[in-house]
Amino acid sequence: MIKEKGLPAQAGISTLVGIVIILLVAGVLFGGVFAYQYFAKSPALLEAQSQQIQTQNPQADNMEPVNQTAGWQTYTNTEYGYELQYPNGWFLFHSQWSPGGPIYSAENLNVQGSIIFVEKNLKNGEGISEYDWFSINRESGTVWTDGSLNVDDFWNKLGKTDQNTGEIINKFVEKKTINGTVFLIFDQYDWSVKYQKKIWIPQALFMHNGNFFWIRGGDTMEKSFFEQILSTFKFTN
């Protein structure tokens, strides 16, 4: 009798193939079950985690915006009927120009048309450009104020471009009403002593009781800080 050769090898291969197929099927089934459990349970798990966080910090949803001007000092101008807040530790002056530089005074500040708010106690003749500061100036007897009935008239007369270079120097930002008074907010392109180049510096105009006022920010002042100051304005008469 002639024996058939090769059958044991073929049987071994068939067995190996069968094992591989079984392993593949098991892997697919296991992966499917795992994926189902993951996607089915993830939303519930996320919800539970969210509830746990809220339980640990129950005030998170009830937190109010932080008042960044809380604790600031208040300046009141009884002559022109307005008040505003400014940071603690700042100093107030009105100034006059002299050949030796500005002369600063802290007397009778509540009736002055022009006030400087600055982070440093200045000496006569000292400049303010390297410090944070802003000023409020009553404008009168100028080409901008004469014949102007409101801040729009003032703004329309204010030059928008440099007559020599043609570049924009005053750029409108927005108009907003603060405690019943309209403020026209704009940026002015001016030289910065600190940065040794021209930069955009925040400015604002408002009119109250027939008087025009120009608020100027220092060239180191952040725009957000300038806006905080504007938000504190109130009018007393």
Pick the more confident residue, 3 or 165.
165
Average pLDDT estimate for 21-37: 51
Q: Are residues 153 and 193 in the same domain?
A: yes
Q: Are 203 and 188 in contact (CB under 8 A)?
A: yes
pLDDT of residue 51: 60
Q: Is residue 107 part of a domain?
A: yes
**pLDDT tops 70 at residue 202:** yes
Residue type, 172: F
Which tens digits make up the pLDDT trace of 210-226? 999 999 999 888 999 99
Q: Are residues 212 and 117 in the same domain?
A: yes
Q: Is residue 168 part of a domain?
A: yes
Q: Are residues 17 and 53 in the same domain?
A: yes
Q: Are residues 81 and 195 in the same domain?
A: yes
pLDDT of residue 181: 95
Q: Is residue 68 part of a domain?
A: no
Q: Is residue 1 part of a domain?
A: no
Q: Are residues 93 and 195 in the same domain?
A: yes
Q: Are residues 46 and 128 in the same domain?
A: no
Q: Is residue 36 part of a domain?
A: yes
Q: Are residues 28 and 85 in the same domain?
A: no
Q: Are residues 151 and 229 in the same domain?
A: yes
Q: Is residue 78 part of a domain?
A: yes
Domain, as residue range, for 35: 7-62
The DSSP H or E segment spanning 186 is strand 181-192
Report the CATH number at residue 182.
3.40.1000.10
The Cα–Cα gap between 68 and 21 comes to 68
Which tens digits make up the pLDDT trace of 68-79? 788 899 999 999
Q: Is residue 129 part of a domain?
A: yes
pTM reported for the whole predicted model: 0.72
Count Cα neighbours of 114 within 13 Å in the Cβ-side half-sphere: 11
pLDDT of residue 43: 54
Q: State the sign of the Cα–Cα–Cα–Cα dihedral 150, 156, 160, 163.
A: negative
Please calculate the CA angle 90-220-83 and round it to the nearest 5 degrees: 40
Domain count, the chain: 2
Which tens digits make up the pLDDT trace of 45-71? 446 555 655 555 555 455 555 567 888
Kindly indicate the confidence band of residue 129, based on its pLDDT and cuts at 50, 70 and 90. Answer: confident
Please calculate the CA angle 8-13-18 and round it to the nearest 5 degrees: 125
The Cα–Cα gap between 77 and 234 comes to 11
Q: Is residue 2 part of a domain?
A: no
Q: Are residues 149 and 35 in the same domain?
A: no
